[in-house]
Chains A and B, each alone.
Chain A
């Protein structure tokens, strides 16, 4: 539905968006994920019409959006600060956009009440924004931006101001509302967990470029670069040199004095090409005794244990000095744990556990 075509945006010398081409489909929940300053907010503001591309063009349903001012666009935005009008009641805030359309009074009333129901705010209709809680404000902002039935809803860090518990509840609420209304949602966030939870597709951005666009599970399981692997969740990165030793299978030579690692990879590497192996800690198994039949086994000493309640992350130092993180579920009580600091342990993982990435 939306097409960015070679879009570049510069502010003076600073390039916020660099030659970006991407499509967003109808009715999807699309997340722009990246650190602050990566250009994700600029992209969103271009969609809303507050910025115009320096080069390239943006199409919404096939129409070039450049000459359309923000107030004439079929997009609505939910602001990071919510931008609720402090002098208007909740009801008037939600009705604001409808009144601008010149909708008849009874229809406005119906629509506002419908939105209040959808966001469970009926009780607060006559309150002013400063008389309700943060979570309620967030829902008012959502109701206000959805009231005009936009084709596209833009959400700028919509949950940034909420505390963690409330944020999780609201994420599911957002997904629910997105499904009910069938609106295309584009969300901007720097919180990878949030993006993974709510979005059907995630675009990871850095320095004005999109690094990878894929579904959350593909982003996590098969990142296309060290940057993406590192940005999303925890990861061990092992540098090495690849040598093909079978179909889609490589032997990776890494630290001196260690046996090469066996890795399967769908992307091909030439003989002697340097590469990075990215392995998630939860895919590394930790054992007190040397396991047999594993594709890769290394020996090390426990340096640190981070106890997270349901999980524990073990920082294991190998003889070469490298540290590999392994995660395991705490299925037993902590006092029965088989190993503790300074213990010698064995780490193992399968050939398909990691992703082999080009350097």
Chain B
């Protein structure tokens, strides 16, 4: 019994101390006021004055501030917009690839799968960096387009939202492909044949059978892209411009540049609240899929 207790206690306490407690702290600081001190916020918890005196100094001032300064809600909205659009773009690129992989001859599939996963193992930062050289004004894309004569003036892509979309699609593509591929590979070929036998053309069989049956994979892939993109920092900071507003970037700047910890914490708390809905939906989708498999 003792052994079982230790087995549970060690990882449990670790997560409590290093995951849950920090959150409580973030929440607490989000209710504090900024101060020119180290650490730069008040109040500090003090055993002498007691818990009520401490609590009475906490307020929602920072959250009120977030609603007043339009930078913040614009950043939230623009994060949602960028995450939604880039999820859709990733789906448009990822679905045909996943479909083709699932229809490829059996002996190729393991290799194709590895080719999709391989970039995932290489540094995220490097993959984003690779696009900086391609998208800049004198970058390869512009050079190529000028050489083919499609354009006469170099396009400004780097430091715009377009570059951010490209970067997100590129780095998150494996997350979209893998769940869709898993769903499509399970799909019984005879279902498509049955649909054709019952009068479907190729295309309508795809719409009426393939798409609905890969729905859980599509939903899983979309959430796997949408959720992390919402809090993304590296891509907007390297590929985006000064007008690319994303909440991860705002939080970072609030913390490192402005050193306004209470506001940064409030930004984090709101972002978390924003994420709860897609996370719960994602969880539901996964559960439904598991039940369907049983």
Contacts and interface: CB of A to CB of B under 8 A. Distances in A.
B258 interface: no
Interface string B172-206: 00000000000000001011011111111100100
Given A72-B199, A87-B213, 19 more contacts: A48-B197, A49-B196, A50-B196, A69-B201, A70-B193, A70-B197, A71-B199, A77-B194, A79-B190, A83-B190, A83-B191, A85-B195, A85-B209, A96-B198, A96-B208, A100-B204, A101-B199, A144-B198, A148-B199
A80 to B, nearest CB: 8
B193 A100 contact: no
A69 B198 CA distance: 11
6 contacts: A48-B193, A71-B197, A76-B198, A86-B213, A96-B195, A148-B199
Contacts of A80: 190
Given A83-B190, A83-B193, A85-B191, A148 B198 contact: yes
A32 to B, nearest CB: 18
Contacts of B191: 83, 85
B60 to A, nearest CB: 46
A238 to B, nearest CB: 45
B212 interface: yes
Contacts of A69: 196, 201
A81 interface: yes
Nearest to B209: A85
Interface in A53-104: 69-73, 75-77, 79-81, 83, 85-87, 96-97, 100-101
Interface of B: 188, 190-191, 193-201, 204, 208-209, 212-213, 215, 292
Contacts of A76: 197-198
Contacts of B193: 48, 50, 70, 77, 79, 83
B200 A81 contact: no
A233 to B, nearest CB: 32
Which among A49, A76, A85 has the highest number of chain B CB atoms within 10 Å?
A: A85
A79 B194 contact: yes
Given A81-B188, A83-B188, A100 B194 contact: no
A48 to B, nearest CB: 6
A50 B198 CA distance: 13
Contacts of B292: 86, 130
A320 B199 CA distance: 63
B188 A100 contact: no
A83 B194 contact: yes
B213 A71 contact: no
Contacts, number: 64
Interface of A: 48-50, 69-73, 75-77, 79-81, 83, 85-87, 96-97, 100-101, 130, 144-145, 148
A77 B209 contact: no
B268 to A, nearest CB: 39
Contacts of A50: 193, 196
Contacts of A71: 196-201
A51 to B, nearest CB: 11
B204 A77 contact: no
Nearest to A50: B193
A79 B194 CA distance: 7
Contacts of B204: 100
Contacts of A85: 191, 194-195, 209, 213
Contacts of A96: 195, 198, 208
B201 to A, nearest CB: 6
Contacts of B201: 69, 71
Nearest to A80: B190
Contacts of B196: 49-50, 69-71
B187 to A, nearest CB: 10
Contacts of A87: 212-213, 215
Nearest to A96: B198
A137 to B, nearest CB: 13
B175 to A, nearest CB: 24
B227 to A, nearest CB: 25
A157 to B, nearest CB: 12
A85 B191 CA distance: 7
Contacts of A72: 199
A148 B194 CA distance: 13
Which 4 A-B pairs rank lowest in CB-CB distance, beginning with the nearest? A97-B198, A100-B199, A83-B194, A83-B190
Contacts of B194: 77, 79, 83, 85, 144
Nearest to B187: A86
A77 B197 contact: yes
Which among A49, A70, A73, A144 has the highest number of chain B CB atoms within 10 Å?
A: A70
Contacts of B199: 71-72, 97, 100-101, 148
Contacts of A145: 197-198
B291 to A, nearest CB: 10
Nearest to B204: A100
Which among B198, B200, B209 has the highest number of chain A CB atoms within 10 Å?
A: B198
Given A87-B212, A87-B213, A81 B197 contact: no
Contacts of B200: 71, 100
Nearest to A77: B197
Contacts of A101: 199
A47 B165 CA distance: 49
A49 B215 CA distance: 28
A68 to B, nearest CB: 12
B198 A81 contact: no
Contacts of B215: 87
A76 B198 CA distance: 7
A101 B201 CA distance: 11
A81 B212 contact: no
B292 to A, nearest CB: 8
Contacts of A86: 213, 292
Which among A77, A83, A87 has the highest number of chain B CB atoms within 10 Å?
A: A83
